Amino acid sequence: MANESEQLLIECPVARGPRLCLATLYTFMGVAGAVLNLTVVYLVVTFKKLRTASNAFIVNGCVANLLVCAFWMPHEAVILYTGSSLSPRYQTFKEALLFLGITVSLLSHSLIAVNRYVLITKVPATYQSLYQRRNTEWMISGSWLMSVGCLVPWLTTSASPTEGCASTHSASASSTAAGTSVLANSFACATLACTVTAQTVIVLYCYFKIFRRVQISVKRVSILNFQIVNNLPYSFPRKDKRLGMYVLAVCFVFVVTTEPMLWALVARLFRAQVPAALWTSLWLVFCTLFVTNPFLYTWKNEEFRKSLRSVIRGDFWRGSVVGVEPINISTISHILPRQNSRRAFLGDMN
């Protein structure tokens, strides 16, 4: 046993250069993610016209992202930079919040996708009845309750907050070699793998269904922006094609950031060796999802852009808030064909 411990102590320490590089990446991603997510939350809370069911799910994802970007990443950056370690209890608390933020954020992707799927492919009455305020609140609360339910078994079965290198050396070595100590636990690994798989299936199904039913018309309803563009004199096939590809881009970003990590998690479950450098790279790619989420869902939304410009120009503080009226479901019912064809229309790129 003494020889094994000595071997672990020899293998665990990571060179200062890679640790500083990883700490720098965590710092940059943490700052960028915190700013983007807080901006979206601030805009939705401040501007009443942005308080829609879809935006509520986006804010839910942003709050979960903040647990990763504004809390976990700065801690990891400091630990990697200083080479220090945390107390076992605080390490467990930190990793628990990380796991909670990841699972809630992934569930929020599905809530957003299903919301838009129902809006575009179902009749307006169905959307109105399903996404009442109380139902929306229960959906958001359910995402947190489900995540907590998945977290409790890890907290109760994990004998120590860290495993492997972390238990014999320092948390910084564990972070560099394994990404996070919580994922060294088999139950947490399996839970996250199942969560990623389920959310991928839901997201791909919803957006591909939306993409197939999108058709060009004189008036269009934007899939991702929920805005009506009136009085278009003619169609813009190139722009429609771009918007259609943008729908697929949401799926592409989600798949690219989550699937490599999924395969690494599956490999770990089957006790396969995943090189530390590869695991760290896949973990960093996975973390970019929590940084880019707010930008991915809001940068094409004219309401968000106008609200952001009004804040930057100072119009909000002068009392002249600029906003766009949220889409009225009854208005959609007049735009959609009466023969219950359940078609939606693409919006103007601008």
Phi–psi pair at 269, nearest 5 degrees: -60, -35
Single-letter amino acid code for the residue at 121: T
10 Å CB burial of residue 297 (0-12, 13-18, 19+) is buried
Check if the beta carbon of residue 344 is closer than 8 Å to that of residue 214.
yes
| pLDDT score for 11 | 40
Q: Return d(Cα 7, Cα 1) in angstroms, integer.
A: 10
Instruction: Report which DSSP code applies to 347.
Output: P
3-state DSSP assignment of residue 131: coil
d(CA 135, CA 139): 6
pLDDT score of 181: 65
Closest residue by Cα to residue 143 from 87, 202, 85: 202
pLDDT for 186 equals 82
Longest dimension (CA), the chain: 80
Segment 143-201, tens digit of pLDDT: 999 999 988 887 776 544 444 333 333 333 444 444 466 777 788 888 899 999 999 99
Q: What local confidence, expressed as pLDDT, does residue 26 receive?
A: 94
In the chain, the domains with their CATH numbers are 2-345 (1.20.1070.10)
Chain segment 24-58, per-residue pLDDT in tens: 999 999 999 999 999 999 999 999 889 999 899 99
Residues facing residue 220 across a β-bridge: 229
Phi and psi (nearest 5°) for 344? -120, 165
Q: Give the strand pairing for 220-221 and 228-229.
A: antiparallel
276, two tokens:
């530390």
Q: Packing angle between helix 276-298 and helix 16-46, nearest 10 degrees?
A: 20
pLDDT value at residue 158: 59
Alpha-helical segments (H) within the chain? 2-11, 16-46, 53-66, 73-82, 88-121, 124-130, 133-157, 165-168, 171-178, 186-213, 237-269, 276-298, 302-313, 329-335
Distances (CA, A) of 272 to 162, 195, 269: 20, 21, 7
Q: What is the pTM of this model?
A: 0.77
Convert 221-259 to b/e letters by CB count within 10 Å (16 or more is b): bbbbbbbbbeeeeeebeebbeebbebbeebbebbeebbb
Ramachandran region, residue 54 (left: φ > 0; alpha: ψ -120 to 50; beta: rest): alpha
Please, which residues have CB within 8 angstroms of residue 125's CB and are 6 or more apart in sequence? none
Contact assessment for residue 103 and residue 150, using Cβ atoms and an 8 Å cutoff: yes
H/E element, 92: helix 88-121
pLDDT tens, the chain, 350 aa long: 444 333 333 344 456 778 889 999 999 999 999 999 999 999 999 998 899 998 999 999 999 999 999 999 999 999 888 877 778 888 888 889 999 999 999 999 999 999 988 988 888 888 989 999 999 999 999 999 999 998 888 777 654 444 433 333 333 344 444 446 677 778 888 889 999 999 999 999 998 888 777 654 433 444 444 444 444 444 444 445 555 667 778 888 999 999 999 999 999 888 888 888 899 899 999 999 999 988 888 887 888 888 888 888 876 555 444 443 343 333 333 333 333 333 333 333 33
| Side-chain-facing half-sphere of 121: CA atoms under 13 Å | 15
Query: Coil, strand, or helix at residue 202?
Result: helix
Residues 6+ positions from 214 with CB-CB distance below 8 Å: 120, 223, 240, 243, 244, 247, 343, 344, 345, 346
Give pLDDT, residue 229: 44
How far is residue 120's CA from residue 122's CA, in Å, rounded to a whole number?
6
Please report, to the nearest 10 degrees, the dihedral formed by the alpha carbons of residues 104, 110, 114, 117 taken in order: 140
- Amino acid symbol at 90: Y
Q: Which two tokens stand for residue 183?
A: 């994922």
Task: Record the tokens describing residue 168, joined without a space.
Answer: 């014999």
